Amino acid sequence: MTRHQHIRRNTTRAIFMAIIILQDLVPFFGNIPLGPLSITTLHVTVILAAIILGPGEGAIIGGTWGVLTWVRAFVAPTSPLAPLVFTNPLVAILPRVMIGVVAGYPFRLVLRYSHSERLAAILAAAAGALTNTGLVLGLIYLFYRTPAVAQAYGVDVSHLLPALLAIMATNGLAELVLAVIVVPLVAIPVLEVRRRLV
């Protein structure tokens, strides 16, 4: 990697981090609160970083979001549920890091065999969105089958799993559709511009 490429990569990473911070801090920009739930748009930025910069950089951008989620759970929760579950770094940070990994590698793999950036971007977007929702809800169920968390979802503990599955089917589906639509629209032109700059 040349010095120019190194500078450009660092600059692009910094821009993605700044976008993540803005999305996390500006109300309704990155998290749209709906009762005890919070529909996020930040996963789209992480997926884009993984496609444009690679899975390693995507993991770093996802980790940035994860650390912000963890800190905000203590000082400025985005939902009533956040202080109950996102104070655990495994729940707050790990799923966000894995978005970059799970979106980045399939993008490269599909692109290698299909040579279709659109198909690769759509599949990477779906994989990244499902990773975020699936891991967060799965870890909540694993670590937090408690009355307080169940009450935040408006159910008792025995109905927590169906409630989480319902969220996966509604909240998760909305985030999946958002990613599948937005990611190819942004990623493909950016990749084309980057190729021209090489």
**Closest by Cα among 78, 107, 104, 106 to 92:** 78
This prediction's pTM:
0.92
Q: Residues 37, 171: contact at Cβ < 8 Å?
A: yes
At 175, list the tokens: 């985030």
Checking if the pLDDT of 156 tops 90, the result is no
Q: Tell me which DSSP letter residue 84 carries.
A: H
Condensed to tens digits (0 to 9), the pLDDT of residues 17-61 reads 999 999 988 877 887 766 656 678 999 999 999 999 999 999 999
Q: Tell me which DSSP letter residue 160 carries.
A: H
Condensed to tens digits (0 to 9), the pLDDT of residues 100-137 reads 999 999 999 999 998 899 999 999 999 999 999 999 99
Residues 99 and 76: their CA atoms lie apart, in Å, by: 24
Higher pLDDT, 44 or 152: 44
Q: Tell me which DSSP letter residue 151 carries.
A: H
Average pLDDT rounded to a whole number, residues 148-162: 86
Average pLDDT rounded to a whole number, residues 86-94: 95
Report the range of poorest mean pLDDT among 34-38, 70-74, 155-159, 178-182: 34-38
Distances 108 to 82, 102, 182 between C-alpha atoms, Å: 34, 11, 19
Give the pLDDT of residue 174: 87
By three-state DSSP, how is residue 91 classified? helix
Give the pLDDT of residue 104: 96
Distances 48 to 23, 55, 83, 129 between C-alpha atoms, Å: 14, 10, 28, 11
* 22 Cβ contact list (under 8 Å, min separation 6): 29, 30
Checking if the pLDDT of 196 tops 90, the result is no
**Packing angle, helices 94-114 and 55-75, rounded to 10:** 160
